[in-house]
């Protein structure tokens, strides 16, 4: 049955509450049930769309009854002309009903919440949960799904059980495998630890719900009291993919304890359906336990030299997860060794190749970094479903080249050795920066799904601005800058504490900021290099004519950025800052951000790029005045090189 012929809104006597998510089954169903619940509370019509696309879990007819579809399904394009009303959950239920009563028939409430139960401002979580579960019981299921749900509700001979959702299919072996969504993937060591803990704490059995058959089978063989869905539901393997996924959700919902990825709509929906609080699988360990447990498990797996394809794929992602989450404390030498192991396990995994490119760049292996980046681009190009692998590869390549450029700017360098065409040093550097700028333009044009794109782009723009300034330095400040960028194998990537531990940002809005955390490392290093160079140039006590700290913002990683603007009409080359904390250089920055508002205020076109923003360590002052007094500028000097 085609949804194009169903449920036209023109015939509705009142506004509708609509769900139209385009992603996987968990997100779609959670939004549909939320829309049903809100519609019943508001006495409104309920409709849902079932958009196509790469994430569609299956045809709606596989899951829902023909009567339910005829009553509530609608084609996605029929919603385009509808006016979307403000979110009613920001009001009390009574106010929301009054506002909806005055709304025209050509309006709708768009429900997009994929993980939580929706309620009104004056309602408790218990109330919203009960309404959500009541709405779920009004869904008309297809005959096959209805039979499965009835079997699950009747219970099983194994009695009560705990359950773990292990997502390791599409993001490990399927269409989404080239980019690691850290918040959705659970390392093997955590899954096995959780099984043991659940059993030790009294669970009779642990049910594993996974989209990776080989992995689930291996867990079943290792643990006597682990069970799989096909052992409980006789016709499980005969169901369609979408029907099996829905059965998994209902099996999770009937568990006494639910573990899974904290941001998984699949797992969260199960908790919403049952009222059981869903917990992250990794939360069965403390932060330090998690780091040590995963590190030991990785080393053990490496020593085993796994030959099975699924185990090699999982090990590659366990390593990428470990470096992404705990990388701030992982020495650079270990980071390089582990990245090489991950690539050896899965040579065409762009996530591992990008990790390797970054590690090689820090090790000073510019050619090796570029080779790994080229391989990452090639692997990312195989993913037609989303742009994230390519954006991750572009951002990593730009930051890796920025690190190399900063280390070799002026004097004998890898750039000079590779370009024997007798052009001047400044021309070589200018061409290199033009290449990085072109890569940045390409990165700006892409639309990733899971990467925090604007935050990543801002870091890359800061890095290119820093390179422009570092490229004009004389020998002494250039040497100071290079010293700040140098790194030893036993060093961690960051000097001191700059941001939150990775594990604490696992459930960050929009997903774990994996790419952002990687490029921030180079931004921090370059900020330190600017500060050291400014000090080498000689601190200047007098200030520019204008210098103001306007705000301190915090990125999703916990990294703080000092923002403001500075302008000196006599200085056409821009202004560089050094920031001292506890009497030593901590960071640095420079003016590079367009500020047309300042141009309009000062009536001075030379002030166009007077805005600044640069990262500061965790021990930097919070108060604007203290920050401003800790900032010093480089002496005025004539421009000798391009900027």
pLDDT at 419 over 60: no
pLDDT tens digits, one per residue of 198-255: 999 999 999 999 999 999 999 999 999 999 999 999 999 999 999 999 999 999 999 9
pLDDT tens digits, one per residue of 427-470: 778 888 999 999 999 999 999 989 999 999 999 999 999 999 99
Domain boundary among 222, 250, 284: 284
- Give SS3 for 575: coil
pLDDT tens digits, one per residue of 472-487: 888 889 999 999 998 8
Domain check: are 14 and 69 in the same one?
yes
pLDDT at 14 over 80: no
111: nearest Cα among 182, 167, 37? 37
- Provide the domain count of the chain: 3
pLDDT tens digits, one per residue of 563-575: 999 998 877 667 8
Q: What is the pLDDT of residue 418?
A: 45
pLDDT at 411 over 60: no
Asked whether residue 267 is assigned to any structural domain, the reply reads yes
pLDDT at 281 over 50: yes
Share of the chain above pLDDT 70, in %: 93
Bigger pLDDT: 385 vs 154: 154
Task: Name the percent of the chain in helix, strand, coil, to the closest 5.
Answer: 50, 10, 35
- Contact (CB, 8 A) for 393 and 456: no
pLDDT tens digits, one per residue of 155-199: 999 999 999 999 999 999 988 999 999 999 999 999 999 999 999
Q: What is the pLDDT of residue 384?
A: 82
pLDDT at 31 over 80: yes
Domain check: are 181 and 255 in the same one?
yes
Q: Provide the mean pLDDT of the chain.
A: 91
Asked whether residue 322 is assigned to any structural domain, the reply reads no
Domain check: are 79 and 179 in the same one?
no
Measured in residues, the chain has a length of: 643
Domain check: are 202 and 275 in the same one?
yes
Domain boundary among 266, 284, 302: 284
Neighbours of 425 (CB within 10 A): 17
Domain check: are 102 and 179 in the same one?
no
Domain check: are 127 and 164 in the same one?
no
Asked whether residue 306 is assigned to any structural domain, the reply reads no
Q: What is the pLDDT of residue 424?
A: 61
pLDDT tens digits, one per residue of 3-13: 444 445 455 66
The residue segments making up the domain with residue 245 are: 144-284
Domain check: are 111 and 170 in the same one?
no
377: nearest Cα among 360, 362, 357? 357
Domain boundary among 93, 118, 140: 140
Domain check: are 136 and 158 in the same one?
no
- Rounded to whole angstroms, how far apart are CA atoms 404 and 417? 13
Task: State whether the Cα torsion 260-262-267-270 is positive or negative.
Answer: positive
Bigger pLDDT: 635 vs 75: 75
631: nearest Cα among 520, 521, 550? 550
- Residue 582: pLDDT band (50, 70, 90) is confident
Strand partners, 612: 564, 591
Asked whether residue 258 is assigned to any structural domain, the reply reads yes
Please give the structure tokens belonging to residue 293.
Answer: 């447990």
- Rounded to whole angstroms, how far apart are CA atoms 433 and 545? 30
| Over residues 275-292, mean pLDDT | 95
- Give SS3 for 209: strand
Domain check: are 35 and 123 in the same one?
yes
> Which of 12-26, 79-93, 308-322: highest mean pLDDT?
308-322
CATH of the domain at 72: 3.40.50
CATH of the domain at 215: 3.40.50.11350
DSSP state of 372: H
Domain check: are 157 and 136 in the same one?
no
Domain check: are 279 and 150 in the same one?
yes
């Amino acid at each position: 049955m085609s949804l194009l012929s169903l449920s036209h809104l023109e015939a509705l006597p009142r506004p509708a509450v609509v769900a139209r998510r385009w992603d996987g089954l968990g997100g779609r169903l959670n939004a549909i049930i939320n829309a049903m619940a809100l519609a019943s509370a508001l006495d409104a019509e309920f409709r849902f769309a079932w958009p196509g696309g790469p994430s569609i879990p299956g045809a709606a007819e596989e899951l829902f009854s023909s009567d339910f579809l005829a009553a509530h399904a609608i084609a996605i394009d029929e919603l385009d002309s509808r006016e979307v009303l403000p979110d009613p959950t920001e009001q009390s239920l009574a106010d929301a009903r009054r506002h909806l009563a005055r709304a025209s028939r050509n309006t709708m409430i768009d429900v997009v919440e994929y993980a939580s139960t929706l309620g009104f401002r004056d309602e408790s979580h218990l109330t919203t949960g009960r309404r959500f579960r009541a709405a779920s019981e009004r869904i008309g299921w297809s005959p096959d799904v209805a039979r499965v749900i009835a079997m699950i509700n009747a219970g099983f001979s194994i009695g009560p059980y705990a359950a773990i959702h292990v997502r390791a299919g599409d993001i490990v072996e399927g269409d989404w495998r080239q980019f690691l969504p850290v918040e959705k993937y659970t390392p093997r060591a955590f899954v096995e630890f959780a099984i043991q803990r659940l059993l030790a704490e009294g669970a009779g059995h642990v049910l594993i719900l996974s989209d990776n058959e080989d992995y689930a089978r291996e867990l079943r063989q290792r643990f006597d009291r682990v069970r799989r869905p096909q052992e409980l539901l006789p016709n499980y393997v005969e169901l369609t993919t979408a029907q099996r996924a829905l059965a998994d959700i209902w099996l999770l919902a009937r568990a006494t304890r639910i573990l899974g990825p904290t941001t998984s709509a699949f797992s969260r929906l199960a908790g919403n359906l049952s009222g059981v609080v869903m917990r992250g699988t990794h939360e069965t360990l403390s932060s330090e336990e998690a780091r040590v447990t995963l590190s030991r498990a990785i080393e053990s797996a490496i020593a085993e030299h796994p030959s099975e394809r699924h185990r090699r794929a999982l090990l590659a992602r366990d390593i990428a997860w470990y470096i992404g989450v705990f990388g701030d404390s992982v020495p650079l030498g270990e980071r390089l060794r582990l990245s090489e192991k991950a690539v050896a396990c899965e040579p065409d995994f762009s996530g591992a190749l990008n990790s390797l490119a970054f590690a090689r760049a820090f090790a000073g292996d510019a050619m090796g970094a570029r080779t790994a980046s080229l391989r990452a681009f090639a692997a990312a190009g195989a993913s037609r479903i989303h742009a994230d692998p390519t954006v991750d590869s572009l951002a990593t390549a730009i930051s890796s080249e920025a690190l190399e450029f900063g280390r070799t700017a002026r004097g004998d360098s890898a750039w000079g050795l590779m370009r024997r065409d007798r052009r001047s040093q400044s021309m070589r550097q200018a061409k290199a920066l033009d290449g990085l700028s072109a890569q940045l333009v390409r990165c700006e044009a892409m639309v990733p799904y899971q990467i925090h794109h604007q935050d990543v782009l801002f870091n890359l723009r800061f890095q290119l601005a820093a390179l422009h300034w570092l490229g004009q330095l004389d020998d002494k400040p250039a040497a100071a800058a290079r010293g700040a960028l140098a790194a030893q194998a036993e060093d961690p990537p960051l000097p001191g504490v700059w941001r939150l531990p990775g594990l604490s940002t696992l459930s960050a809005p929009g997903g774990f900021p994996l790419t952002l955390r990687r490029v921030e490392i180079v931004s921090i290093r370059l900020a330190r290099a600017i500060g050291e160079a400014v000090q080498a140039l000689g601190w200047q006590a007098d200030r520019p004519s204008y210098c103001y700290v306007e705000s301190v913002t915090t990125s999703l990683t916990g990294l703080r950025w000092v923002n403001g603007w500075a302008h000196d009409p006599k200085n056409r080359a821009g202004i560089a800052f050094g920031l001292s904390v506890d009497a030593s250089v901590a960071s640095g920055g420079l003016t590079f951000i367009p500020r047309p508002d300042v141009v309009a205020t000062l009536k001075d076109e030379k002030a166009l790029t007077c805005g600044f923003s640069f990262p500061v360590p965790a021990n930097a002052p919070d108060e604007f005045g203290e920050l401003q007094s800790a900032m010093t500028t480089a002496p005025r000097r004539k421009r000798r090189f391009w900027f």
